[in-house]
Structure 1
Amino acid sequence: MSTDDLETDGWVRTSREGAVLTVTLDRADQLNAQTPATWSALAAVGASLDDDVRVVVLRGEGRSFSAGLDRSMFSPEPSTNGGLGELGHLPAEEAQERIRGYQGGFRWLRSPGIVSVAAVQGHAIGAGAQLALACDLRVFADDAQLRLPEATLGLVPDLTGTSTLMELVGYSRAMEICLTGRAVTAAEAQAVGLANAVVPRAELDAAVADLVAAITAAPAAASRATAALVRSAVRNDFAAQDAAERAAQVERLHELAGGR
């Protein structure tokens, strides 16, 4: 069975097929431009996950994944839409707390128990790039381009993008991509580890489906434990990671042996 839901204000649509939840940015006429309502809708999806969801596929409707912030967000005038003008007029602590809430729409994509996969076509710019980077895995169409232009606009990437980019491509390349704001093509993305695969645009959905099928073919408990180990390896030293592997393996062995 498949269920569908539409978060009208945030242009976020979800559908569920067994253990796979698909989250679609559904604002194709605006290249899936994002607003704070989008991030609230995404955070709500993350909060609603149940234990049976193993994979979350994040995609954008139409010809682009997401072209970033909605243009209305760039107004320098204070408003009530959560845009840059409003944030610039708030006290620092209040503005930071507001952004922390926005970041919640991104961080849940690394939640324990799930693996997230971004299907990226066309533009992934700014907030769109950071949303793709927030996922565990990325499949790019051959027309995809990823950009983080915030520094060139007098801003910084603030939707979790600096840490996730650094994990993927390393210090010097992340620094260069962020400071120049240049476009990273699909071919380069695959070469530097941003994209797990690059396929013709017409084959994107099929390639993502194949990847999801491979992930869900493994037993759920072993898959989740392995994903947790890979995530912890990013920050653990060798001793801590070795200990984490030992503990996880013994837990797996005990379960296989009948719960001893």
Structure 2
Amino acid sequence: MAYQNLISEIKENILYVTINREKALNALNKATLTELADVIAYADKTAEVRGVILTGAGEKAFVAGADIKEFADYTGEQGEGLAREGQINVFDAIENSTKPFIAAINGFALGGGLELAMACHMRVASETAKLGLPEVTLGLIPGYGGTQRLTQLVGKGKAIELITTAGMVTASEALKIGLVNHTVAQADLMVKAEEILNLIKQRAPLAVAAAIKSINASVNEGNGFEIEIAEFGKCFETKDFKEGVSAFIDKRKAFFKGN
């Protein structure tokens, strides 16, 4: 897949996506968001892809925010359209993907960058990373799900503090408050992300997808328990379930095919 603002490649069933605008601190402009929407859709429909690692080029920034110059003169209606389109095509698309996404946060994750990381199912941060939602310093609020996902991850009080003060947190603080899953040395960032996905790759793909859907429903649906019950039932109809049970009884490793 050839993109202008992304580097993407599949290795051993993992799709590596790098936002490649290092000179602009990997800021999200319209073109980059369009390419992200495309690569997310590709990941979801491609059986070869078992998981995705999303990161930024260089060591300074994962994504330092949105490209402010592009929307500096927007009207309220245009701003609402910008947020809605981005949420549907990129941020919600990541969260609702059947493939697990891991954000490998290699530096600053600010504004839209932190929102992108929070849309991913898991986050691994370099020890030097700094994270925050500084939109109120521009007279804005987070527009790509930041107010919602930050609250889900760290709780209402901490979310209000971080957003209204526009404060940044270090990787170690982000770990303490539940904003990231792991912190590691910069050199070990991709290794840790790969380690997690390599474990997931050993599990039943349809069950992984069902688990993600059910967990998302716990915060995004009226009754997540009903989604869980329905997805649990569907698993019984899969060949992977039969394989998993057989392997357990035979005391052997299961070989799942995603069907």
Alignment equivalent of 2:180, drawn from 195, 200, 220: 195
The amino acid that maps onto 1:41 is E
How many residues align structurally?
A: 237
**C-alpha deviations, 1:81-140, integer Å up to 9, x for none?**
x4222x13xxx4344223322332222111241111100022111111111111110000
On the 8 A contact 2:15/2:53 being kept in 1, the answer is: yes
Normalization by structure 1: what TM-score? 0.84
Structure 2 residue 150 is matched with structure 1 residue 165: yes
CA RMSD of aligned residues (A): 1.9
Alignment equivalent of 2:77, drawn from 86, 93, 100: 93
Corresponding residue of 1:78: none
Alignment equivalent of 1:69, drawn from 66, 73, 80: 66
In 2, Cα distance between equivalents of 1:171 and 1:106 = 21
**C-alpha deviations, 1:163-194, integer Å up to 9, x for none?**
11111111111111110111111011111111
Structure 2 residue 230 is matched with structure 1 residue 247: yes
In 1, Cα distance between equivalents of 2:21 and 2:221 = 39
Corresponding residue of 1:174: 159
- State percent identity of aligned pairs: 32
Alignment equivalent of 1:207, drawn from 157, 173, 192: 192
Corresponding residue of 2:56: 60
**C-alpha deviations, 1:133-159, integer Å up to 9, x for none?**
111100001001001110122111112
**Relative to structure 2, which stretch is displaced further, 103-112 or 200-209?**
103-112
Alignment equivalent of 1:128, drawn from 93, 113, 125: 113
> Which stretches in structure 2 are left out of the alignment for 5+ residues?
244-259
Aligned structure 1 segments of 4 or more residues deviating by more than 6 angstroms: none
For residue 65 of structure 1, give the secondary structure of its aligned residue in structure 2.
Answer: strand
Structure 2 residue 130 is matched with structure 1 residue 145: yes
The amino acid that maps onto 1:247 is A
> Which stretches in structure 1 are left out of the alignment for 5+ residues?
75-81
On the 8 A contact 1:20/1:54 being kept in 2, the answer is: yes
Normalization by structure 2: what TM-score? 0.84
Shift of 1:236: 4.6
The amino acid that maps onto 1:220 is P
On the 8 A contact 1:119/1:139 being kept in 2, the answer is: yes
**Alpha-carbon distance change, 69 to 54 in structure 1, aligned in 2, over 3 angstroms:** same
On the 8 A contact 2:218/2:225 being kept in 1, the answer is: no
On the 8 A contact 1:138/1:196 being kept in 2, the answer is: yes
**Alpha-carbon distance change, 94 to 180 in structure 1, aligned in 2, over 3 angstroms:** closer
